[in-house]
Amino acid sequence: MKARLKSVREALEEASNTLISRKRMLFSTSFATTASSPLLATTETLTLLKYSKRSRTFPAVTAVMADCTKGFKGSRLKKKMPGNSFGEAFRVTTWGESHGRAVGVVVDGCPAGLEITKEDIQSELDRRKPGKSEFVSARKEGDEVEILSGIFQGRTLGTPISMLVWNRDVDSKPYEPMKSIPRPGHADITYTLKYGFRDYRGGGRASARETVGRVAAGAIAKRLLAALYNTEILGHVVEIGGVRAREGLSVEEIRRNAERNAVRCADLNAARKMEERIREAKASGDSVGGIVEVIALNVPAGLGEPVFDKLDADIAKALMSIGAVKGVEIGAGFQSARMLGSEMNDEFFINGKKVRMKTNRAGGILGGISTGEPIVCRIAVKPTPSISKKQQSVDIERMEEVELSIKGRHDPCICPRIVPVAEAMLAIVLADHALRARNARLNAKE
């Protein structure tokens, strides 16, 4: 690889007539060799354009870069890529910061011919947006999606789908005094330790704003799954601040009630108590966490790629990648640790020509492969880190301990807003595996 990089460097220098430092070249090469999204490819192109501006030999540079990408798949360079993309066959790349110009996503790999309208995507984004109740952030964003590519006359083209939402209601003033004071429980400290330089306004990339891209991509994944298998994905809040929804809520109740109250709980009695719990925490300058359940109905048996890309492994990663999620369980989850084998196992029976299960403690997945029963996952969502209650922090510029009381607009409880995000991530994993499963057998009918 060293020899290859050397020849690439020489070719680049020759083509661009510019002195490109070894470090920059390595950086650029790693981007070009591994970027599977057009957005990243564009970033790379711009970088190269900048370096080769004086030479006006850009086509020569791109030709060299195209050549040097060959054979680098799976190399060490790939492992150095930042983690802004998810999925193999249905690949999603989100971009943007909370108080930057816009946020968005590129979805690559969606097959051509899928019927989808702007409204299908907008309705999911509307479920995620802030400013809709006293239980979520007061930031007022219309979150109107602009589809830049990949959809034409209401159908996907099979080309990358790029979607953008402008950041309009940006107020960075509360973040100025906290530039060098990390918020306890937030990502300020780790972004500073890792990158040495960060966008401190509104949490930058570690903000709920990043989930706009996930939800927009999830809307496409949901449409794809619905078209393929009539899959339905439902999310609802089952616990907030220790207040629990009734056990055994039916799918019908979840469908009917979850979207009808501000905390997205299908048990309406519990919902009122949860609202009260959030009000109490908010009034004392604090926040509360909870548990959200996401269910996928009508998922065929056979999705999941053992052994490292098992369906449950990918779902766990997808859900865990959402900010504030501290735990994921599937089916009986942590409860299974306290059960006997005879209590945990789902017994089989014959239903027509199908093998079904009497119970679903496995949560719809065995051996990393979907069973055909509903997929049931739950996530533990921590209390919102930004609270106005006084906490101790440090000023990392002055290296002294300080007291911090956070201002700004924050969700007093993240659970209601995380529901559409968790649904989107589950849909993205299932869409990805639906496309990947097509290669599993020589003869799909066997």
Ligand X SMILES: Cc1cc2nc3c(=O)[nH]c(=O)nc-3n(C[C@H](O)[C@H](O)[C@H](O)COP(=O)(O)O)c2cc1C
Which CB, 44 or 329, lies closer to ligand X?
329
Of 161-169, 216-224, 319-327, 391-399, which part binds ligand X (CB under 6 A)?
319-327
Of 30-38, 49-57, 344-352, 383-391, which part binds ligand X (CB under 6 A)?
383-391
Of 264, 385, 428, 434, the residue at the interface with ligand X (CB under 6 A) is: 385
Binders of ligand X among 136-175, rule CB under 6 A? 137
Binders of ligand X among 108-137, rule CB under 6 A? 137
Which CB, 314 or 411, lies closer to ligand X?
411
324 is a contact residue toward ligand X (CB under 6 A): yes
414 is a contact residue toward ligand X (CB under 6 A): yes
Q: What are phi and psi of 20, to 5 degrees?
A: -105, 125
Which conformational region is residue 273 in: left (phi greater than 0), alpha (psi within -120 to 50 degrees), or beta? alpha
How many chain residues interact with ligand X (CB under 6 A)?
Answer: 21
Length of the chain: 446
Write the DSSP string, 339-375.
S-HHHHS--EEEETTEEEES--TTTTEETTEE-SSPE
Which CB, 31 or 191, lies closer to ligand X?
191
Long-range contacts of 240-243 (CB under 8 A, 24+ apart): 240/265, 240/274, 240/277, 240/278, 240/288, 240/289, 240/290, 240/413, 240/415, 241/274, 241/277, 241/278, 241/281, 241/288, 241/289, 241/290, 241/413, 242/277, 243/270, 243/273, 243/274, 243/277
Which CB, 208 or 225, lies closer to ligand X?
208
Q: What is the smallest separation between the CB atom of 440 and ligand X, expressed in angstroms?
A: 33
Start-to-end CA distance of the chain, whole Å, equals 43
**What single letter denotes the amino acid at residue 332?**
A
Which CB, 85 or 384, lies closer to ligand X?
384
Q: What is the smallest separation between the CB atom of 421 and ligand X, expressed in angstroms?
A: 5
Of 44-52, 64-72, 158-166, 203-211, which part binds ligand X (CB under 6 A)?
203-211
User: How far, in Å, CA of 72 to CA of 78, rounded?
Assistant: 8
- Write the DSSP symbol of residue 144: -
Of 199, 293, 411, 432, the residue at the interface with ligand X (CB under 6 A) is: 411
Q: What is the smallest separation between the CB atom of 408 and ligand X, expressed in angstroms?
A: 8
Which CB, 9 or 417, lies closer to ligand X?
417
User: How far, in Å, CA of 200 to CA of 206, rounded?
Assistant: 10
User: How far, in Å, CA of 394 to CA of 184, rounded?
Assistant: 10
Q: What is the smallest separation between the CB atom of 102 and ligand X, expressed in angstroms?
A: 18
186 is a contact residue toward ligand X (CB under 6 A): yes
Write the DSSP string, 200-238.
-GGGGGGSGGGHHHHHHHHHHHHHHHHHHH--EEEEEEE
Of 48-56, 95-103, 298-306, 320-328, which part binds ligand X (CB under 6 A)?
320-328
384 is a contact residue toward ligand X (CB under 6 A): yes
Of 206, 281, 369, 435, the residue at the interface with ligand X (CB under 6 A) is: 206
323 is a contact residue toward ligand X (CB under 6 A): yes
Which CB, 29 or 207, lies closer to ligand X?
207
In the shown chain, the binding pattern of residues 57 to 76 toward ligand X, with x for contact by CB under 6 A and - for none, equals: --------------------
Closest CA to 165 of 110, 202, 216, 91: 216
Cβ atoms of 391 and 401 within 8 Å: the answer is: no
386 is a contact residue toward ligand X (CB under 6 A): yes
Closest CA to 52 of 81, 25, 33, 26: 25
Q: What is the smallest separation between the CB atom of 137 and ligand X, expressed in angstroms?
A: 5
Burial profile 394-426: b = 16 or more Cβ within 10 angstroms, e = fewer: beeeeeeeeebebebbbbbbbbbbbbbbbbbbb
Cβ atoms of 408 and 174 within 8 Å: the answer is: yes
205 is a contact residue toward ligand X (CB under 6 A): no
Of 26-34, 152-160, 335-343, 381-389, which part binds ligand X (CB under 6 A)?
381-389
Which CB, 52 or 211, lies closer to ligand X?
211
Q: What is the smallest separation between the CB atom of 356 and ligand X, expressed in angstroms?
A: 35
Q: Residues in the site for ligand X, rule: CB under 6 A?
A: 137, 186-187, 203, 206-208, 211, 322-324, 382, 384-386, 410-411, 414, 417-418, 421
